Amino acid sequence: MSQNSHQLRSIVRAAAADAGFDICGMVNVRELQSRELEYFSSWIAGGNAGEMTYLEARNENGHFKRASMQNALPWARSVIICALNYNTGGERSVEVAHEKSRGWISRYAWGRKDYHDVLLGKLRQVEGVLHRHIADEDDRAPLQTKCYVDTGPFLERVYARYAGLGWVGKNTCLINIEFPDGSPGPLPADRCGSCTRCLDACPTQAFIAPYQLDARKCISYLTIEKRGSIPEELRPQMGNHLFGCDICQDVCPWNRKAPASTEADFQPTAELVNPPLEQIAELTQRQFQEVFRHSPVKRAKYSGLRRNAAVAMGNSGDPKFVPQLQQMAVDEDDYVAEHARWALEQIAKPALTEEVSLREKP
Rounded to 5°, the CA angle 173-116-263 comes to 85
- How many angstroms separate the CA atoms of 90 and 107, rounded? 9
Residue 106 interacts, among ligand B12, ligand SF4, none and using kind-specific CB cut-offs from 5 to 8 Å, with ligand B12
Is residue 342 within 8 Å of 235, Cβ to Cβ?
A: yes
| Residue tagged active-site, from 138, 150, 318, 334 | 150
Residue 297 interacts, among ligand B12, ligand SF4, none and using kind-specific CB cut-offs from 5 to 8 Å, with none
252: contact with ligand SF4 by CB under 6 A: yes
107: contact with ligand SF4 by CB under 6 A: no
User: Shortest Cβ distance from residue 252 to ligand SF4 (Å)?
Assistant: 3
Q: How much of the chain is in helix, strand and coil states, percent to nearest 5?
A: 50, 10, 40
Q: Is 150 a catalytic residue?
A: yes
Run of H or E including 174: strand 174-175
Residue span binding ligand B12 (CB under 6 A) among the ranges 4-12, 35-43, 137-145, 338-346: 35-43
Angle between helices 3-19 and 115-137 (to 10 degrees): 150
225: contact with ligand B12 by CB under 6 A: yes
Identified binder of ligand B12 from the candidate list 76, 97, 168, 258, rule CB under 6 A: 168
User: In sequence order, what are the beta bridge partners of 276?
Assistant: 102
Question: What are φ and ψ of residue 122, in 5° steps?
Answer: -70, -40
- How many angstroms separate the CA atoms of 85 and 92, rounded? 15
Using CB under 6 A, count the residues that bind ligand B12: 34
Would you name the residues annotated as active-site residues? Answer: 150
Binding region for ligand SF4 (CB under 6 A): 169-171, 192, 195-198, 202, 204, 206, 213, 218-220, 245, 247-248, 251-254
Binding site for ligand B12 (CB under 6 A): 35-36, 39-40, 43, 52, 55, 106, 108, 149-150, 154-158, 168, 171-174, 211-213, 215, 218, 220-221, 225, 244-246, 248-249
